[in-house]
Amino acid sequence: MNASMKRKILKYVLYTVFLVTAFERCAYNDVNVTVDCSASDLAVVVESTKNTTGCKAINGEISVSATGGVAPYDFSINDGEYQTNSTFVDLGPGTFTVKVKDVNNCWRSMQVTIGADGSNLSATATSTPDNQCTTNNGTITVSATGGKGPYQYQIDSKGFSSSNSFSAVSDGIHAILIKDADECQTNLSVQVGRGVTGISFATVIKPILDTNCNLSGCHGTGTGSRDWTNFDNVKANATNIKQRTGNRSMPPGAPLPQSQIDQIACWVDDGAPNN
């Protein structure tokens, strides 16, 4: 083999290595297609409940099942750890949020109440959404009836007080405990909604992407559906951008600061608007 042929073969090998390296670098930044859980027919169904034998007893039970979605299913109560068992035992009286999750990580929830024999203490609650990105401004107001007043109130195991209103509450599910003068208790699982935070794509999100992602060989101009200088491509991948920046697998190298990760998550949860 002459020297000219050897040089051609060497050039071919080096070029091939370059292409493979470039492909792997970009593949690292690819995002996966996710299931549209809003279209899922997954549902949680209450099979049976069992009241406690007294206002201080913790022998209540809730049994549920799941339909639709894609089996197998997992179940949780009041945002606790998921389990395969769909029956929850050793519960006190009150209202609980039971959630089912399928293999696609789609989930549905519903509230289930169990009472206490010998007590008519009960409560309801209203809430306003939390529409701040890095701080909390949701509220919960509780109304108690029955039992024997005066009542005391507690949120998320933070101690009882006479106030039935809670402020600076984050979005999500919160455990409210109500106690009457006879020490009988009931609880609520209250959902605080998430409001629109108004994080701007143009002034907040786009600069983050331009600095860390929209680079040559990754998501820069001319990379087709991977081109994140094109807003439509960013919106189509918004959920995965939130997921991968949140778990710090993207961008490669140094992860984003937590403040930018939070801003991306808020913008995506707002519906990824072109604002």
Let me know whether 210 and 245 are in one domain: yes
CATH of the domain at 113: 2.60.40.1080
Whether the model clears a pTM of 0.85, i.e. scores above it, the answer is: no
Residue 270 resides in a domain: yes
Residue 258 resides in a domain: yes
Contacts of residue 31, Cβ cutoff 8 Å, sequence gap at least 6: 237, 240, 241, 244, 250
Q: Rounded distance, CA 153 to CA 66, Å?
A: 33
CB 239 within 8 A of CB 34: yes
Place of tokens 């290595």: 17
> What is the mean predicted confidence (pLDDT) over 144-151?
94
Whose CA is closest to 77, among 60, 91, 96, 64? 96
pLDDT score, position 27: 45
Let me know whether 175 and 241 are in one domain: no
Share of the chain above pLDDT 70, in %: 88
pLDDT score, position 74: 98
CB 80 within 8 A of CB 146: no
Q: Rounded distance, CA 119 to CA 185, Å?
A: 9
Q: Rounded distance, CA 116 to CA 92, Å?
A: 8
Q: Rounded distance, CA 178 to CA 180, Å?
A: 7
pLDDT score, position 183: 84
Residue 206's domain comprises: 196-275
Kindly state the helix (H) or strand (E) to which residue 50 belongs, with its residue range. strand 43-50
pLDDT score, position 26: 47
Q: Rounded distance, CA 250 to CA 257, Å?
A: 12
Domain count, the chain: 3
Residue 263 resides in a domain: yes
Examine the fold and report which residue of 143, 160, 195 is the final residue of a domain before the chain moves on: 195
CB 86 within 8 A of CB 98: no
Let me know whether 113 and 134 are in one domain: no
pLDDT score, position 69: 95
Let me know whether 101 and 47 are in one domain: yes
Please write the tens of the pLDDT for every residue from 68-121.
Answer: 999 999 999 998 999 999 999 999 888 899 999 999 999 999 989 888 888 889
Examine the fold and report which residue of 195, 227, 260 is the final residue of a domain before the chain moves on: 195
Q: Rounded distance, CA 78 to CA 4, Å?
A: 73
Q: Rounded distance, CA 74 to CA 84, Å?
A: 5
User: How many angstroms from the chain centroid is the CA of residue 85?
Assistant: 22
Examine the fold and report which residue of 118, 133, 154 is the final residue of a domain before the chain moves on: 118
